[in-house]
Amino acid sequence: MKGKHIPFTKEQIEKIIEAHPTPFHIYDEKRMVEYARYFIDSFSWNKGFKEYYAIKAAPNPYLMKILWQQGFGIDCSSMAELVLAEKLGMRGEEIMFTSNDTPAEEFQKAVELGAIINLDDISHIDFLEKVAGLPELVCFRYNPGALKDGNMIIGNPEDSKYGFTREQLFEGYKKLKEKGVKRFGIHTMVASNELDPDYFVETADIVFDVIMDISKELGIKFEFANLGGGIGIPYRNEHKPVDLIKVSNGIKELYEKTIVASGLAPLKIFFESGRAITGPFGYLVSRVLHIKETYKKYAGLDASMANLMRPALYGAYHHITVLGKENEAGNNIYDVTGSLCENNDKFAINRLLPKIEAGDIVVIHDTGAHGHSMGFNYNGKLRSAELLLRTNGSVIEIRRAETLDDFFATLDFESAKIFR
Ligand SMILES: *Cc1c(COP(=O)(O)O)cnc(C)c1O
C-alpha cells in the first residue's frame, strides 16, 4: 500500500520518543517553508500580494516565526491571537483582524496594534468608532448570499452568520467615506477545505465585480481584495492539492479583464489561509496501548480526541500509518480509539490497516491544522507537546505537554477543604 509522505523513519522517531514521550504533534519545517514559498511565488505577478496565516490552525510562535520570515502576515480573530502576534513582535498591517460578534476589548487591541480591521457587520462601524476610533484603513467582509454556493463545510452563504450583504457594502463604504476613512479593503470567505481551484477564481470574480460597482458609485479606491482562507488539503491519498498556479493564473486573467481594464489597478490580492499552510506538515505520533477484540477490533492509542478532535467533530478522515508496517497488506479492520469516556473518541472507524500490536507506533497524518489547537481538557485529558522537525534534521520542543498542575491551576483546593 503506497502511503502518504512521512518525514522521518521508524528508527528516527524511536530516538525522538526517547526524549519526548508520546503522544505529540510534530511539524516538518522543510516542507512547510517550501509550501510557503510556493504560495508567494505563485502570485508574484501581483505587487503587494500577501498571505496572512490564519493562526487558529496552529497557534504556535515558532511556526508563526517561520512563516513571518517567509513574508507572511498573520490573520487573528480573538484577543489571544492578537496577543500572540504582539508577543512575537508583529505590528501594524502585518496583522489582519477578521472577527465576528467582536467584543470591544478586541477592537481596542487591534487598533492599538495598528492591525487591518476587517468588519463583519454594518453595525460594527459605529461600534468600532465608539470603542476604539476608526482607523484610516477599514475592510468589510462580504457575504455574497445567493450569488455563490457555499461548500459542504462552511455551508450556504445565505445561512452563514458572517459578513455584509451586497447592499450593506454600498451603504457601509459610503458611511466610512463620510466619516473620513481614506483607505479601503474588501474581504470574502465562502469556502472551507475546498480542493477545486476554480472555486477560488469564482470567488475573485464575485469580489472584483462588486469592487467595480462600488468604486464607480462611490468614487473610492480599493487597496486590496482579501480572498479569505478555505484552501483545502488532500486528507485522503486520492485527493490532489489545490494547484495554486492555476488559481493564480485564473485570478490574473480576471484581474486584467476587470480591475486593470476599469482603471482600478493596482489592487493587492490577499489570502488568509490556515489549513493549507500547516495542515499537511503536522503529524500526531502516538503509541498503541491495547488491542481489544469484542464485536469489533479496537486499537487503543495513548492519544485521544483531546489531541485531535476533527474525526469526532466532523467525521473527518485522517490517514493513519502504522510505522514499520507500511508495506504490509491492510487487511485488518480496526476502530482506532483514544481513552476518553465518549464513544466518538475515535481517530478512524472500520479502517483497513496492517495487523496492529500493542506498542506499535501510529502516525496520524495532516494534523498540522486544527489539531493541537482544537484540543480540550474534557475528562481531564492533557494536551500534548508540539515538536518541530527542523530543516537540518534536528528536533526541538516548541510547546511542552500540559501537566496536572496546569490542569488544576484554576482551582483552589485549600478553600475547598475548609468549605462546608
Ligand atoms: C478559519 C478562517 C480562516 C482560515 O481558514 P482555513 O480553512 O484554515 O484556510 C481565514 N479567515 C477566517 C475569517 C477564518 O475564520
pLDDT digits (tens, 9 = 90+) for 65-78: 999 999 999 999 99
DSSP string, 232-269: ----STT-----HHHHHHHHHHHHIIIIITTT----EE
313 occurs within a structural domain:
yes
For ligand 1, the distance from its centroid to the CA atom of residue 341, given in whole angstroms, is 31
- DSSP conformation class of 13: H
Which protein residue has the closest C-alpha to ligand 1 atom 5? 229
Q: What is the mean pLDDT of residues 214-229?
A: 97
Q: Same domain, yes or no, for 348 and 201?
A: no
275 lines ligand 1 (CB under 6 A): yes
Looking at the fold, whether 33 and 176 belong to one and the same domain comes out as: yes
Which range has the worst mean pLDDT, 63-67, 151-155, 170-174, 296-300?
A: 151-155
58 lines ligand 1 (CB under 6 A): no
pLDDT per residue as tens digits for the range 29-39: 999 999 999 99
Rounded distance, CA 212 to CA 209, Å? 5
Establish whether residue 75 lines the binding site of ligand 1, counting it when its CB lies within 6 angstroms of any ligand atom. yes
Q: Are 387 and 20 in contact (CB under 8 A)?
A: yes
Owning domain of residue 88: 29-278
CATH code for the domain of 400:
2.40.37.10
| Prior bond of 354 cis (ω within 30°) | no
Is there an atom of ligand 1 within 6 Å of 372 CB?
Answer: no
Residue 54 Cβ inside 6 Å of ligand 1? The answer reads yes
User: What is residue 164's DSSP assignment?
Assistant: B
Total length of the chain: 420
Q: Does residue 273 have its Cβ closer than 6 Å to ligand 1?
A: yes
Ligand 1 atom nearest to 162, measured from its CA? 13
**Mean of per-residue pLDDT scores for the chain:** 95
CB 385 within 8 A of CB 401: yes
Based on the domain organization, do 137 and 187 belong to the same domain? yes
pLDDT of residue 264: 98
Residue 239 has pLDDT above 90, yes or no: yes
Do residues 389 and 26 lie in contact, with contact meaning Cβ atoms separated by under 8 Å? yes
In terms of phi and psi (left: phi > 0; alpha: psi -120 to 50; beta: otherwise), the region of 380 is: left
Decide: 233 in ligand 1 pocket, CB within 6 A: no
Q: What is the mean pLDDT of residues 83-108?
A: 97
What are the distances in angstroms from CA 74 to CA 51, 54, 61, 113, 197?
Answer: 8, 6, 11, 12, 23
Cβ of 192 below 6 Å from ligand 1:
yes
Residue 145 has pLDDT above 90, yes or no: no
Cell of 188: 470574502
Same domain, 371 and 333: yes
What integer pLDDT is reported at residue 160 of this predicted model? 79
**Probe residue for ligand 1, chosen from 98, 106, 154, 366 as the CB with the greatest number of ligand atoms within 8 Å:** 98
Residue finishing a domain among 229, 251, 278: 278
In a shared domain, residues 260 and 294: no
Shared domain for 167 and 284, answered yes or no, is no
Average pLDDT over residues 322-326: 96
Instruction: Check whether residue 263 and residue 346 sit in a common domain.
Output: no
Q: How many domains does the chain have?
A: 2
Residues 271 and 312 in one domain: no
The sign of the dihedral angle between the CA atoms of 103, 109, 112, 117 is negative
The minimum-distance atom of ligand 1 relative to the CA of 231 is 9
Q: Is residue 57 in contact with ligand 1, taking CB distance under 6 Å?
A: yes
Cα–Cα dist 109/391, whole Å: 35
From atom 7 of ligand 1, which residue's Cα is the shortest distance away?
230
Amino acid, single-letter form, for residue 389: L
Which of these three, 238, 259, 278, is where a domain ends? 278
CA of 54 to the centre of ligand 1 (A): 6
Band (pLDDT 50/70/90 cuts) for residue 155 is low
Residues 188 and 70 in one domain: yes
The per-residue pLDDT for 123 is 97
Q: Which atom of ligand 1 is nearest to the CA of 118?
A: 13
Same domain, 238 and 104: yes
**Cα(350) to centroid of ligand 1, in Å?**
31
Q: Is residue 418 part of a domain?
A: no
Q: Are residues 90 and 215 in the same domain?
A: yes
Is 10 domain-assigned?
no
- Residue 146 pLDDT grade (very low, low, confident, very high; cuts 50, 70, 90): confident
pTM for this prediction? 0.96
Considering 249, 278, 307, which residue would you say is the last residue of a domain? 278
The answer to the question of residue 417 being in a domain is no
Same domain assignment for residues 58 and 189: yes
**Residue 363 is assigned to a structural domain of this protein:** yes
Q: Is residue 382 part of a domain?
A: yes
Phi/psi for 376 (5° steps) reads -150, 175
Atom of ligand 1 nearest to the CA of 191: 7
| Ligand 1 atom having least distance to the Cα of 273 | 9
pLDDT exceeds cutoff 60 at 1: no
Ligand 1 atom closest to the Cα of residue 272 is: 10
What number is the average pLDDT over the span 173-191?
A: 96
With the most atoms of ligand 1 within 8 angstroms of its CB, the residue from 35, 56, 162, 281 to mutate is 56
- Cell readout for 285 is 505520533
Expressed in angstroms and rounded, the spacing between residue 329 Cα and the centre of ligand 1 is: 38
Best of 35, 272, 277, 367 for a ligand 1 pocket test (most atoms within 8 Å of beta carbon): 272
Q: What pLDDT, in 10s, does the model give residues 326-340?
A: 999 999 999 999 999
Q: By alpha-carbon position, which residue is closest to atom 13 of ligand 1?
A: 98
Tell me the catalytic residues. 341
Strand partners, 137: 183
Q: What is the CATH number of the domain that holds 59?
A: 3.20.20.10
Q: How far is the CA of 53 from the centre of ligand 1 (A)?
A: 9
- d(C-alpha 371, C-alpha 385), whole Å: 12
At residue 25, what are phi and psi to the nearest 5 degrees?
A: -95, 140
Phi first, then psi: give them for residue 322, nearest 5 degrees: -90, 110
pLDDT in tens, 356-398: 999 999 999 999 999 999 999 999 999 999 999 999 999 999 9
Sequence-distant contacts of 167-170: CB under 8 A, at least 24 apart: 168/122, 169/140, 169/142, 169/210, 169/214, 170/213, 170/214, 170/217, 170/218
* Cβ neighbours, 10 Å, residue 318: 20
Residue 120 lies in a domain: yes
Confidence of residue 2 (pLDDT cuts 50, 70, 90): low
Contact 303, 85 (CB under 8 A): no
Give yes or no for residue 176 having a pLDDT over 60. yes
Helices 61-69 & 29-42 angle (0-180, nearest 10): 40
State residue 153's pLDDT score.
Answer: 47
247-256 mean pLDDT? 98
Q: Would residue 5 count as lying in a domain?
A: no
